[in-house]
Amino acid sequence: MCKRYLTILPLILCLLLIVTQSMAETEKRFFVYNAANGLADNSAQTINCTKTGRLVITTMGQINFFEGQKFTYIDPTTENIYPISKYKGHAHLYFDKHHHIWFKKRNALSCIDLIRETYVTSIVDELKALGVSDKVHDLFCDSENLLYLLTDKGLYNIERKKYFNVRKDHDLQELDTYEGKYLLLFYEDGVLDILELSSGKVVFSEAAYDEKHAQIYSSTTVILKNGSSFYQIRNGSKNDDNVAILLHFDMSKKKWDTILETPYYMSNLKIHNGTLYIPSAYCYWTYDLSSKSLNHIDKLRMADGSMLLSDINSIEFDKQGGMWLGTEKRGLLYARPYTIPFKAYEWEDKEALYYAKLLDNTVTPEYTYRDKSVNCVFHDSRGWDWVGTSTGLQLYRNESALLPQLITRHDGLLNNVIHCIQEDKFNNIWVGSSYGVCCITIAGDKIRYIYRYNQYDGIPNESFVNGRSMILDDGTIVMQALDHVLAFNPNNMATIRQSNNSDIYPKLIRLFVNGTDVRTGQKMGGNVILERAITRTKVINLNYNQNSLSLTFSGLNYFRPQQTFYRVRVTGPGMGDKWVVYTPYSSGGLVDSNGQLHLPLPSLVPGTYKIEVQTSMLPDEWHTTPYEWVININEPWWRTTGIFLLGLSILGILLIVYLYMYLKNAGLKARRDNEEQSIIKRIKSFAERCDARSGMVLEPMPEEVSNQNISGIADFSKEFTDMMEVVMPAFVVKKNKPITMRELSNMAGMKLPEFYQLITSNIYKNPRPVALQMMLSRAYELLKNDKAKDIAEISAECGFVSPNYFISQFYHKYHATPQEFRMKQI
């Protein structure tokens, strides 16, 4: 009998462990995300969580991205399909080290450029860029994201630029590497070949099962490496039904094990927290890697409490530990990383009646405080009084306090109408309102943070009853609502105890410029603002008139998006360097209900701005490294450095030209002034010599003495002699007064150039003819007007050397002697 019990004891323990695990898994509650939420299609084939926490979901023909509450997908109109003859399986997604996503499904291969988040329009050209011009029959990525291409020449490794031999007449279905030394090749007949990467030599070869199984499980292969273990799913058909087998290969022992066989397909593999998850046609299986125990989750509990039987294509866990299931027709199913702590019992449940009876026997509500009617009153362990009213929660820290601290929605409450209040074992204050439950945490004598819970956390969307709440000995808090009784234990609430373990990181997911939603490759203002996808952009360059921005950030908080806090610092021209915290309830709507931050940056002046962003699930814990983005608002072209330098250069050149011309003109002016003064002196000398009053004596020239015929007056133009008669008084009468050429030209009634030309043409000639004419003209006036003077006196006064010379010259001009001329005047 003892031996019999000893024999079945391990089986009992194993069953107990399976039951325990099953209970843990079935406690998960799943929420639905489908086409109604923005998913491109309800058939979710694969799910992958990137290093930053973003989800990538493939649906029927489209690649979707999920940033928390918003789905986006790549436009499939530019998709290029490359035929791969060797792959006949279901959807398979690879990420390589060249920023590509490779998606293959039933002889078709497509490629996504992750830098721009667009389809590669020519896979042939992309393969050539990677160094392969041959026809590619299949494509693989190992667990290190290194790319392998199957061609007629063999299996080509992109990184090593090396070909490896593969089995002929066999289908290579999957591969992986181990420790950078070995290449594992998995074939359709269950055979595994292990090659040395350095030499390409086969060092091990063995089939996972016999030929009979090889004929059954030949359709598709999925593998997953975990240390020295390789887990493999092989699908096939038996008696026209889909079947599958889960295998394990121990690399250290070179040994195969069979873990599970099912009469339906298994589609994928995922390891999380020491458990292997296997999605299948009937929900999913779990396999504990340490205890080697299996558990089948055949139904899923939905958020509304109903049970769902569904096929599962893929399983993924996000950075917070949340579980995502991809289904064939129901879209995505999401279970939070922690079980929902709130349990709402309807009045038909015996638990509701039990808790209601406890409330009847234990709770004596207070409805007045300081002679005022209120909804409820609670006296906590600190000696503080908490008063629930219809306009918020009032806090009196001592009996002498005249005015309370008022806590409302602006401080984080879900609703201002407070119906019941309770204190938990950690001295946190819980309040039930007309909408949801809030937990107020306190540090010292100040409120630290208010946690908010509503229908998304399992709380009935209805009002609570005034004063109906209590705490049980085990820490469970009971609150009575209109149609339910709510029970929860704060000891088990991860949102309060483990929020600091859920690090979240910001992602820039949207950019508005001057009110326009900017897309990758879109031209705006003559230039492309986003050369890369917005999620991969760190530097944004804008024109001076593209200076009103709005940036949308997501904290990738799938667990509790309404509990997402942002800490932002914007530095740049006129910005300062202070950090600003944006909360869901005190940011003026900048943090929306989906936990996304919409950061406005209006009317930026040209310059460089740095935006630093942190995200957290608590408003006073910022232990993650800030993410940074840079925005450059360029100066107008006429204010750019190049134009400024060009302007300075032109200004310098103009200044040099100006100085050159100025100096040149100054020299010319100086020479002209010198020349003008020389001419004026010449005119003055000329005038003085022509003036009889100057004391000059006019003698006969030698030519005249020898009786040669000389006409001196003919050497000067009449205009010159007439002009000299006009300007001579300026030199004779006003001898010491300065005078200019312009003044002389004005006296002569001539333009300055004409006057200058006339002067320079005559002034350098012998002044004797002009002097003679001036003397004769003076003699003419004296003979005509002064009868008292004789001929000799007039001759001397007019400057003639002798009366005879005067008489001869006068006769030559006027054809009469001076005496004859005077007699004619009588």
- When pLDDT is averaged across residues 749-772 and rounded to a whole number, the result is 80
- When pLDDT is averaged across residues 572-585 and rounded to a whole number, the result is 92
Check residue 734 and give its pLDDT.
58
Check residue 18 and give its pLDDT.
36
Helices marked H in 217-324 — which ranges? none
Task: Give me the helix-helix angle, 791-798 and 803-814, nearest 10°.
Answer: 90
| pLDDT band with cut points at 50, 70 and 90 for residue 147 | very high
Q: What would the pLDDT profile of 470-485 be if each residue is shown by its tens digit?
A: 999 999 999 999 999 9
- When pLDDT is averaged across residues 552-566 and rounded to a whole number, the result is 92
Please, what is the average pLDDT of the chain? 88
Q: Which of 71-80, 416-425, 606-615 has the lowest mean pLDDT?
A: 71-80
Tell me what percent of the residues of the chain surpass a pLDDT of 90. Answer: 61
Of these ranges, 126-140, 695-709, 741-755, the one predicted with the greatest mean pLDDT is: 126-140
- 423 pLDDT exceeds 50? yes
DSSP H/E element including 154: strand 154-157
| pLDDT band with cut points at 50, 70 and 90 for residue 769 | confident
Q: Which of 141-155, 295-309, 497-511 has the lowest mean pLDDT?
A: 497-511
8 A C-beta contact, residue 260 and residue 285:
yes
- When pLDDT is averaged across residues 52-68 and rounded to a whole number, the result is 90
- When pLDDT is averaged across residues 601-629 and rounded to a whole number, the result is 93
Q: Which of 151-155, 320-324, 622-626, 735-739 has the lowest mean pLDDT?
A: 735-739
Q: Is 805 helix (H, G, I), strand (E, B) or coil?
A: helix
- When pLDDT is averaged across residues 769-798 and rounded to a whole number, the result is 83
Check residue 226 and give its pLDDT.
96
Q: Is 495 helix (H, G, I), strand (E, B) or coil?
A: helix
- When pLDDT is averaged across residues 78-91 and rounded to a whole number, the result is 89
- When pLDDT is averaged across residues 394-408 and rounded to a whole number, the result is 92
Closest CA to 560 of 485, 514, 617: 617
8 A C-beta contact, residue 93 and residue 56:
yes
250 versus 594: the higher-pLDDT residue is: 250
| pLDDT band with cut points at 50, 70 and 90 for residue 425 | very high
Q: Which of 329-333, 466-470, 506-510, 815-819 has the lowest mean pLDDT?
A: 815-819
- 51 pLDDT exceeds 90? no
Check residue 16 and give its pLDDT.
33
- 289 pLDDT exceeds 90? yes
8 A C-beta contact, residue 520 and residue 117:
yes
- When pLDDT is averaged across residues 266-289 and rounded to a whole number, the result is 96
| pLDDT band with cut points at 50, 70 and 90 for residue 733 | low
Q: What is the Cα–Cα distance from 734 to 737, expressed in whole angstroms?
A: 6
| pLDDT band with cut points at 50, 70 and 90 for residue 64 | very high
| pLDDT band with cut points at 50, 70 and 90 for residue 24 | low
Tell me what percent of the residues of the chain surpass a pLDDT of 70. Answer: 92
Check residue 732 and give its pLDDT.
59
Check residue 9 and give its pLDDT.
35
CA angle 244, 249, 250 (to 5 degrees): 155
- 138 pLDDT exceeds 80? yes
Check residue 713 and give its pLDDT.
44
| pLDDT band with cut points at 50, 70 and 90 for residue 633 | very high
DSSP H/E element including 677: helix 641-690
8 A C-beta contact, residue 200 and residue 193:
no
Tokens (6 digits) for 377: 């009153």
Check residue 246 and give its pLDDT.
97
| pLDDT band with cut points at 50, 70 and 90 for residue 2 | very low
Q: How many CB atoms lie within 10 A of CB 512?
A: 16
Closest CA to 581 of 603, 613, 558, 551: 613
Tokens (6 digits) for 290: 């340490």
Q: How many CB atoms lie within 10 A of CB 475?
A: 14
Check residue 284 and give its pLDDT.
97
- 264 pLDDT exceeds 60? yes
Q: What would the pLDDT profile of 479-518 be if each residue is shown by its tens digit?
A: 999 999 999 999 878 776 554 457 899 999 999 999 999 9
The residue type found at 509 is I
Check residue 712 and give its pLDDT.
44
